[in-house]
Amino acid sequence: MSRREPFDIAVVGAGVVGAAAALAFARDGRRVALVEAREPAPWRADTPDLRVYAFAPDNAALLDSLGVWRDVLAARAQPYRHMRVWDAAGGGELAFHAEALGRDELGWIVEHGLLVDRLWQAIVREPGIVRHCPDHVVALEQDEHAATLELHGGARLKARLVVAADGADSKLRELAGLAVDRHDYGQRGLVAYVRCQRPHRDTAWQRFLPTGPLAFLPCADGRCSIVWTLPDDEAARLLAIDDAAFCRELSRAFDATLGEVVEVSRRVAFPLRRQLADDYVAGRVVLAGDAAHAVHPLAGQGVNLGLRDVACLRRIVAGAGRHDIGTGHRLARYRRERRSDNTLSAWAFDGINRVFSNEALLPTLLRGHLLGLAGRMPPLARLLARRAAGI
C-alpha cells in the first residue's frame, strides 16, 4: 500500500467508461487507483470486434481532451453523415443529415475493443494512475472521511471517492447496498458484419419491424455492422441457419435497401434488458455506466450515456478544487443530473421499442405516419438529430 494514500479517487472497472473516468481524473491532477479484473486483449485490425457503438460528438470531444480520440481515428472509425429511420408498415421516414446541423458528421461507428485498447494504452503511460490488474473488489468499508476497498489480492485501497464502473452485474454496487430495477425484454440483439451489393453511403439505417428494430451501421471497410433485435426463439433460429439462408432472410427484413446481402461474418446474440439503479450514490461510492443503467440498444446510446456520466462527474470533481471531493452535497449534484437524464433516456427507448416492436393494429397504423410527421417538422427533426448526436 502506497505511503501517499488515501487516493483521491478509486475507479473499479476499466471498460470504456471506467478507463475514461480514471484517465480524466488523472489528467486533471488527481491521484487515481484503477482496479480491473483482467487486462484487455490488444485490438487487432484484422479481427473486427462485433460490438460497435454509434459514438456521439460530445463523447469524441471528451476522448479528444484525454489525447485518445486521434489514436482511435487513426486506427479505424467510420463517420456517419446521414441517418434514416422508417417503419416496415410504411407511412414515411425520419431522416437526419449532418449538414443541417452545420457538422461534417453526426457521429462515428467505432469498435468497442479499439476504444478499450487505446484508453488502456493511455492509462499504462499515465503516472497518476496506480493499476491493480488483475484484481477485483471483495469488500467495502466506509466512514465519514473515506471509503476502503479490500481486493482479492490482499491490497486495501483507501480513497475519498470510489467510482463503480464494473458493469451491469457490478459487484461494487452490491457491496454498496444499491438495488436495481430489472426488466427482461425477452429479446436478443443479433450482431454481425455484412456486405451488401450497394455502398452504405455513410448512412446509419434503422428499419422497425414487428419483431424489433434492425440497424445497419456503416463501417470503414465498406461493410455494415448489423444490430437486429429479435424475440429469443427467433434469434436462436437465425443463429442456427447457414450463411446463405441468413443473408436471404436479412435481405428481406431490410427490404434490400442496399441491395442483397452477399456476405456475413460470424454471428452472435446477447440478451436485452432494461436495468436502472434505484440510486447512484451510497456514501462515497457513485455508479457510472452500465453499473448505473443498461438500456435498450436501439438508439446505440448505452456507451454515450455512460461517458456523459464521466463528463458530469469530472466537472463536479474539478469544481471541488482542494476541498473534499466525496461529500454528500457534491455527489447529490451528480445524482440529480445523471439519474434524471439516464432514466428519461431508458424509458424513452423502452417506449419506442414497445410501440414499434408491436403487431397490434393501432400502433401499426400510426407509427410510420408519426415518423413521417416528425420528418416534416424541421424544428422537431433538428431537436431529435441534435439529441441523437449528443450536441
Start-to-end CA span in the chain (Å): 43
In a domain, 2, yes or no: no
Which residue type sits at 202? D
Residue ranges of alpha helices (H) inside the chain are 16-27, 57-65, 69-75, 112-125, 171-175, 232-240, 243-253, 302-319, 328-356, 361-375, 378-389
Q: For residues 22 and 44, give the distance between their C-alpha atoms in angstroms, rounded to a whole number.
A: 24
Of 361 and 101, more confident: 101
Residue 1 lies in a domain: no
**Within a domain: 52:** yes
Question: Do 225 and 292 share a structural domain?
Answer: no
Q: What is the spatial distance between Cα 290 and Cα 167, in angstroms, rounded to a whole number?
A: 5
> Do 244 and 125 fall within a single domain?
no
Q: Are residues 263 and 127 in the same domain?
A: no
Least confident of 31-40, 83-92, 328-337: 83-92
pLDDT tens readout for residues 229-284: 999 999 999 999 999 999 999 999 999 999 999 999 999 999 999 999 999 999 99
- The count of domains in the chain is 2
**Residue 136: inside a domain, yes or no?**
yes
Range of the domain at 230: 78-111+187-271+359-389
Shared-domain flag, residues 14 and 156: yes
Co-location of 49 and 129 in the same domain: yes
Weakest mean pLDDT among 18-22, 206-210, 256-260, 312-316: 206-210
Residue with cell 426463439: 233
The answer to whether residues 238 and 216 touch, using CB atoms and an 8 Å cutoff, is no
Which CATH number belongs to the domain containing residue 165 in this structure? 3.50.50.60
Query: Are 317 and 9 in contact, with CB atoms under 8 Å apart?
Result: yes
**How would residue 319 be classed by pLDDT, with cut points 50, 70 and 90?**
very high
d(CA 312, CA 286): 12
Query: Is 385 in the same domain as 252?
Result: yes
| Residue 350, pLDDT score | 72
Mean pLDDT of the chain: 89
Is residue 368's pLDDT more than 50? no
267 and 367 within one domain: yes
Question: Which pLDDT score, from 0 to 100, does residue 357 have?
Answer: 58
Is the domain of 294 the same as that of 206? no
DSSP state of 252: H
Please indicate, yes or no, whether residues 240 and 99 belong to a single structural domain of this protein: yes
Q: Are 246 and 234 in contact (CB under 8 A)?
A: no
Q: Are residues 259 and 300 in the same domain?
A: no
Distance CA 104, CA 79 (A): 9
Q: In Å, what is the CA distance from 102 to each residue of 106, 178, 333? A: 10, 42, 32
- In this structure, are 23 and 91 located in the same domain? no
Task: Let me know whether 58 and 136 are in one domain.
Answer: yes
CATH number, domain containing residue 253: 3.30.9.10
**Among 215-229, 280-294, 299-313, which is the least confidently predicted range?**
299-313
The whole-angstrom separation of Cα 186 and Cα 205 is 24
Whether 3 has a pLDDT exceeding 50, the answer reads no
